[in-house]
Amino acid sequence: MDRDGVLNKDPPHYAHRLDQLELIPRSGTAVKILNDQDYLVIIISNQSGVAKGYYTEDDVSVFNNALLLRIQEFGGMVDAVYYCPHHPDAKIEKYKLDCHCRKPGSGMIIQAAKEHNIDLQKSYVIGDKWSDIEAGKNAGCQTILVLTGHGSDEASRMKDPDCLLAVDLYEAVNKYIIGESNISDVKQVESFDERN
């Protein structure tokens, strides 16, 4: 899944400071549900702010670690995090690259599949931008566009009429991945998530 706009709220200018870290409601619960159903949860994120000089890779690591700890408060666990710091118009020369890892390229997804023995045809990519959806399709995954983050704006410019749509990560997980029949099993943890 994508990070900003799917798991945590996407501020106006690149999520990279700890004071910007705010989980989207029910996203912590959604991760726990996936864990409980034996799905791997992997974050795949473009971080072009590094290439543009807005923040460093160390800032990305600090933010990611804080995000993972926040998700753990809801009993959820992220199995791996991949991010792309590159951009073809980078201000920092070492990151100036038109790479395969930057979404809509599928490089990060392919790397995750190799390193974690993942069957991509049985996997989902969840994102709030068409670049996430295109990356998933390029890798042979099923895809879900959530309406959080940039999702509502993106959905108004429908690029893929066959793309699954969900209000948020929680609905994406319960409606499309594990099925509605399991929702009753997580009402208690959802209630906790809503209060926090």
In terms of average pLDDT, the best of 14-18, 155-159, 176-180 is: 14-18
Residue of 120, 104, 100 whose CA lies nearest to 112: 120
Distance, CA of 191 to CA of 196 (rounded, Å): 9
Query: Which alpha helices (DSSP H) does 19-77 contain, by range?
Result: 27-36, 48-51, 57-72
Among 4, 10, 128, 132, which one carries the catalytic annotation? 4
pLDDT surpasses 90 at 191: no
- The mean of the pLDDT values for the chain is 91
Task: Strands of the chain (E only): list them.
Answer: 42-46, 80-84, 124-127, 142-146, 164-166
pLDDT surpasses 50 at 189: no
**Domain boundaries along the sequence of the chain:** 18-185
CB contact at 8 A, 109 and 120? yes
pTM of the shown model: 0.90
Query: Which alpha helices (DSSP H) does 117-158 contain, by range?
Result: 130-138, 151-156
Distance (Å) of CA 174 to CA 26, 50, 171: 11, 34, 5
162 carries an active-site annotation: no
Assigned CATH class of 18-185: alpha beta
pLDDT surpasses 50 at 194: no
Which one-letter amino acid corresponds to residue 64?
N
* pLDDT tens digits, 99-145: 999 999 999 999 999 999 999 999 999 999 999 999 999 999 999 99
Among 2, 10, 128, 168, which one carries the catalytic annotation? 2
pLDDT surpasses 50 at 18: yes
2 carries an active-site annotation: yes
Query: What token pair was written down for 12?
Result: 């106006």
**pLDDT interval class at 195 (50, 70, 90):** very low
